């Protein structure tokens, strides 16, 4: 097999990133936009020693899972990867993705509980971050690049977001404001960032600028008020003058409202700023957090919530727990968590701003012995040092792990097993329909004989 060769390939599996996989002359070939059951003509784009990458040219026999794509920028934008197959087929792929990782990497053969899927696979996101192209159009980055693909209306976003981005782009073109250039570091407008609180309907519009002000701010606010009416709660400038591809800077200036919107999650009122961490699919986050609470069995117990963010998981358990201790390294998130505890009149929650491993060591010095530890780490998972501290120094009865990456969850399952914690049950949750991502809640129990 060589580059630019055209082959006929039958797709028999799916990769973790959503590409179809077929085998040709014994070598795995990865082809985006294909599905299990497809037979297709494929153009080979790259050949490595152990695999190859191709491009779909023509379907010879389509998979029974295929359905008509309903998005004009699918295959160009770097978001969705499963818009060409049925949602039920997508859920089966994600269920198998988690199960395979737990078996192959974690060394545990245990089928997961059935994947928890939402009632709708469209319009579920409560947040969007739009880069702006040179013409002032909002869009999304193409996969594995910073090339902007204009998009009038993303089907994963609320309909209001399309109206806001259209209004914003029109204002940019009218005023002729400069667009930030990543190579030169010049230009004013960097990103448009929108949040919507599903429970209250409140909307936040945040403009990320390479400067201290926005020339047409009053005019823009008036235009947004006209479009959104009372739904518009606040408009915020985020100041980011750094020559970096990090979207948000640290400084916020409210130009309308107080800089916050308020939502409700698992019966907890939550205040959100542009810098607050918050799950993008609220209704599915509620189901995920309820499963975490079920696994935690927090009634009358001390719960240590590591990587707590704005405190949503721990605070949702606070009414039943004896004490909640949340740990988070981002100061703004800790302030959000403390405010949310006060907002909900929760007196038995305490939050610590520190690295999870350092905080765990300090809590050990205080003599804190949590009954349950909740881990909700970033995609890279937990450090081995942290898992050792949790298992050896705290030795909780229960450990609940909320994961956004099956591979790192599976790696940590293996480590925890060696530390005396046995995986008892795990449940996949599809918080990100049409994308390759899947979350998982897992329960570990301490083996008293270890």
The residues that are catalytic are 404
| Helix, strand, or coil (residue 39) | strand
What span, in angstroms and rounded, lies between the C-alpha atoms of 63 and 440? 28
Report the alpha-carbon distance of residue 101 to residue 106 in Å, rounded. 7
Q: Token pair for residue 342? A: 């006060």
Q: Which residue has the tokens 């491993």?
A: 357
* Strand pairing category for 398-403 and 372-375: parallel
CA neighbor of 446 nearest in space, from 356, 372, 364: 372
Sign of the four-CA dihedral 344, 349, 353, 356: negative
Please, where are the H alpha helices in 18-158? 87-104
- What are the residues whose beta carbons fall under 8 Å from the beta carbon of 100, sequence distance 6 or more? 406
- The side-by-side arrangement of strands in the sheet containing 372-375 is 349-353, 323-328, 302-306, 372-375, 398-403, 439-446, 421-429
Under DSSP, is residue 53 helix (H, G, I), strand (E, B) or coil? Answer: strand
SS3 (DSSP) at 5: coil
- What is the distance between the alpha carbons of residues 375 and 381, in angstroms, rounded to a whole number? 9
**Residue 173 DSSP SS3:** helix
Residue 323 DSSP SS3:
strand
């Amino acid at each position: 097999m060589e580059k630019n060769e055209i082959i006929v390939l039958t797709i028999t599996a799916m990769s973790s990133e959503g590409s179809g996989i077929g085998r040709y002359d014994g070598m795995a070939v990865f082809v985006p936009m294909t599905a299990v059951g497809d037979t297709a003509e494929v153009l080979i784009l790259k050949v490595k020693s152990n695999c190859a990458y191709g491009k779909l040219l023509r379907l010879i026999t389509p998979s029974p899972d295929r359905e008509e794509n309903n998005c004009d920028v699918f295959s160009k934008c770097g978001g969705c990867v499963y818009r060409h197959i049925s949602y039920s087929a997508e859920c089966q792929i994600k269920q198998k993705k988690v199960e395979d990782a737990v078996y192959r990497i974690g060394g545990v053969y245990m089928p997961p509980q059935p994947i928890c899927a939402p009632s709708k696979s469209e319009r579920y996101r409560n947040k969007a971050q739009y880069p702006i192209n040179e013409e002032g159009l909002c869009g999304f980055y193409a996969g594995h690049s910073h090339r902007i693909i204009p998009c009038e209306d993303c089907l994963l976003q609320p309909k209001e977001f399309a109206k806001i981005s259209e209004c914003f782009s029109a204002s940019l073109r009218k005023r002729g404001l400069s667009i930030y250039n990543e190579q030169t570091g010049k230009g004013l407008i960097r990103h448009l960032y929108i949040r919507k609180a599903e429970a209250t309907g409140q909307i936040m519009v945040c403009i990320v600028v390479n400067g201290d002000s926005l020339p047409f701010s009053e005019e823009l606010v008036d235009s947004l008020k006209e479009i959104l009416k009372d739904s518009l709660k606040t408009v915020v400038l985020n100041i980011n003058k750094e020559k970096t591809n990090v979207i948000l800077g640290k400084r916020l200036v409210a130009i309308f409202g107080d800089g916050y919107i308020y939502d409700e999650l698992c019966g907890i009122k939550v205040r959100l700023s542009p810098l607050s961490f918050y799950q993008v699919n609220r209704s599915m986050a509620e189901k995920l957090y309820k499963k975490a609470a079920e696994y935690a069995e927090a009634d009358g117990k001390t719960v240590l919530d590591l990587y707590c963010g704005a405190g949503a998981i721990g605070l949702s358990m606070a009414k039943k727990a004896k004490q909640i201790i949340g740990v988070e390294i981002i100061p703004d998130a800790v302030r959000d968590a403390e405010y949310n505890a006060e907002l909900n009149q929760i007196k038995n929650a305490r939050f610590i701003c520190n690295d999870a491993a350092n905080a765990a060591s300090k809590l050990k010095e205080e003599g804190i012995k949590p009954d349950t530890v909740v881990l909700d780490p970033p995609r890279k998972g937990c450090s081995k040092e942290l898992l050792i501290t949790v298992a050896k120094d705290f030795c909780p009865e229960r450990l609940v792990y909320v994961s956004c990456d099956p591979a790192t969850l599976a790696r940590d399952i293996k480590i925890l097993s060696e530390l005396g914690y046995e995986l008892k049950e795990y449940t996949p949750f599809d918080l990100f329909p049409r994308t390759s991502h899947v979350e998982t809640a897992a329960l570990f129990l301490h083996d008293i004989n270890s």
